[in-house]
Amino acid sequence: MSLIYTFSQFSALNEGGAAIKTSRSIREDEYPATFDSIKTVLLPILGIDEDSSDYLVIGSIGKKPNPDDVSGDLDLGFEWEKTAKTMGVSTKKEVLANLYEELKEKLPDDLGFDPEMNLMVGLNILSIGWPIKGDPRFGIVQLDLIPLSDLDWASFAYYSPDYRKGESKYKSAHRNWLFQSILSAMKDVVTEDENGEPLDIDTYVFDFSDGLFKTRKTFRGKKGRLKNPVKVDGMPRELVTNNPQEFLNFAMGPGFSPDEVKTFEDLLAAIKSPKFKNKQNRAEIRDEFKRYLERTPLIMPSEIDTLQ
């Protein structure tokens, strides 16, 4: 998975409601009763205690200031490895495939109707048409089940600002593209060509669900040097860490805590701080961020131009 998600995956995850054709947006005032029904019906099927820390509500739902503010869908993360052990399987895809079959069998009886479902194998997401307030007469919202490797990491990576408290003007995606921009400017040269130019490099990727990964890329081409590096065939990406503090130490340098970089504004201030270890990369980080955002529907924060 590259650049957090590929740009098509990013759009699919952020537009909301695309996988369930019968779905609509959900209002803030509809969320509590809807989530109550999810806890009552779905969590027991997943083998999750509603009072446990084995699941994570992802996104800004429940954090918007007005009762009629809407969200395109609901996202629920769960630790897939625990579920995999219960099922006797070993991969995310197997977990979701088994869940798909189990929910197809159980949900019609539990909900009183046969909900629309969509297993998106490429995204590792299982979407369910969930009844708003637990009653399909109120409409259907898309509920995405997202397998997570570590909930501590996911809580950090997926953190959404609380807009009721004015924590940020921007979405969590703005912060995370800025994180990826920091990583994009951190290229480790493995080998050089005869002219001293990088030939093989290690690059770093911020993955929402799984952690910080290192990927080997090369400028070697069949007909000579490539303009842009490509992944080295047969070399899988390597997990560097899924510990939020270790990630910040690597990407930012010592002296930054997860609570200090919850929002885009927080992270931008941290990059401008004297403590930031890669001060020489600030202009490149700014340019990478702009390049990423220009390919998404997100608004461009004017503050990024203060990064020099």
CATH class of 7-148: alpha beta
Instruction: Report the predicted TM-score, pTM, of the whole model to 2 decimal places.
Output: 0.87
pLDDT of residue 86: 85
Residues comprising the chain, all counted? 308
pLDDT of residue 11: 43
pLDDT of residue 9: 46
* Residues of the chain under the 70 pLDDT cut: 1-17
What stretches of the chain show up as alpha helix (H) in DSSP? 7-15, 31-37, 43-46, 80-87, 92-111, 151-157, 172-184, 244-251, 264-272, 282-293
pLDDT of residue 264: 98
Q: Are 267 and 303 in contact (CB under 8 A)?
A: no
Q: Where are the domains of the chain?
A: 7-148, 173-296
Residues 6+ apart with CB under 8 A from 100: 117, 119, 126
Query: Per DSSP, what are the bridge partners of residue 220?
Result: 225
Q: Which two tokens stand for residue 244?
A: 């939020």
pLDDT of residue 18: 80
Q: Which two tokens stand for residue 91?
A: 């991969």
